[in-house]
Structure 1
């Protein structure tokens, strides 16, 4: 018995037992090979935001097909303005975020969300012009729309058609 607890052979046997135990554990532990993105419902956050702001809140009528809403929050912006954030994993598994705020000046909010102050063009979505911005070093695309009441920004690593797909789903809900 003593020869298995001392020297090189004892070390080798102990290592073999540990490796076999770890292998057995991995063999019998259930493993999922499917992607799991947690879905986070945002309707209550949107409703709460609607109670906190003096305008009709913008929100998607429905989520684009294959998109997973995975984050949402309300935060304070510059000057105490309320900001609503809705985050998504897109159908192509890129990131997209919708943000809105009545922060003034509107350009400051849009520039921070887009990480850029330079327009690269416009994109028509549902008959409405959205300003396009692109930040190459972050692979970040943004659609910006400024209305008299609120600034809307859709941004992320998603491609332009996916961002436009989310923009097409947005509608303003009546205040109240």
Structure 2
């Protein structure tokens, strides 16, 4: 028995037993080859946000095809303003976020959400004019729409057509 616990031979046997055990564990452990992105329903968060703000809340009529809503929250913005965040994994598995706030001045909110104050023109999406912004070092594309009572921002690493998909789904829900 002593020869199995000493020297190079004993070391090799112990190593083989450990590797065999690990290999056996990997063979019998269940494995999933499918991507798993947690889906979070944001309908209650949007409804709660609607009860706390003095304007009609904007939200998607439906999620764009293949998109997975994976985060949502309500937060306090500058000066006590309310902010709603809805996060997504897009169909191309990039990140996109929709945020809205009644923060004033609107430019401060938009600049923070887009990480830039530089506009690159405008886009017409669904009959509405959106400001286009791009921050190259973060590969962050953003669409901004400033309305009298609320500022809407769609931002993320998603490409322009995907961000536009989300913009076309947005509709204002009546206050109440």
Question: What TM-score comes out, normalization by structure 1 length?
Answer: 0.99
Q: Deviations over 1:77-106 (max 9, x none)?
A: 101111000000000110000000000000
Task: Tell me the secondary structure at the aligned position of residue 119 of structure 1.
Answer: coil
Q: Structure 1 residue 11: deviation in Å?
A: 1.0
Aligned equivalents of 1:74, 1:175: Cα separation in 2 = 17
Task: Tell me the secondary structure at the aligned position of residue 120 of structure 2.
Answer: strand
- The size of the alignment, in residue pairs, is 176
Aligned equivalents of 1:153, 1:117: Cα separation in 2 = 13
Aligned equivalents of 2:78, 2:25: Cα separation in 1 = 52
Aligned equivalents of 2:101, 2:83: Cα separation in 1 = 5
| 2:6 matched residue in structure 1 | 6
Q: Deviations over 1:119-143 (max 9, x none)?
A: 0011111110100000000000000
Aligned equivalents of 2:27, 2:45: Cα separation in 1 = 42
Q: In angstroms, what is the RMSD of aligned CA positions?
A: 0.5
Q: Deviations over 1:31-74 (max 9, x none)?
A: 11111111000000000000010111000000000000000000
Aligned equivalents of 2:72, 2:172: Cα separation in 1 = 18
Aligned equivalents of 2:75, 2:7: Cα separation in 1 = 62
Aligned equivalents of 1:38, 1:3: Cα separation in 2 = 53
Runs of 4+ in 1 over 3 A off after TM superposition: none
| 1:74 matched residue in structure 2 | 74
Question: What TM-score comes out, normalization by structure 2 length?
Answer: 0.99
| 2:120 matched residue in structure 1 | 120
List runs of 5+ in structure 2 lacking aligned partners: none
Q: Does 1:99 align with 2:99?
A: yes
Task: Tell me the secondary structure at the aligned position of residue 49 of structure 1.
Answer: helix
List runs of 5+ in structure 1 lacking aligned partners: none
Aligned equivalents of 1:74, 1:7: Cα separation in 2 = 63
| 1:145 matched residue in structure 2 | 145
Alignment of 1:137-176 (within 5 A): 137-176=137-176
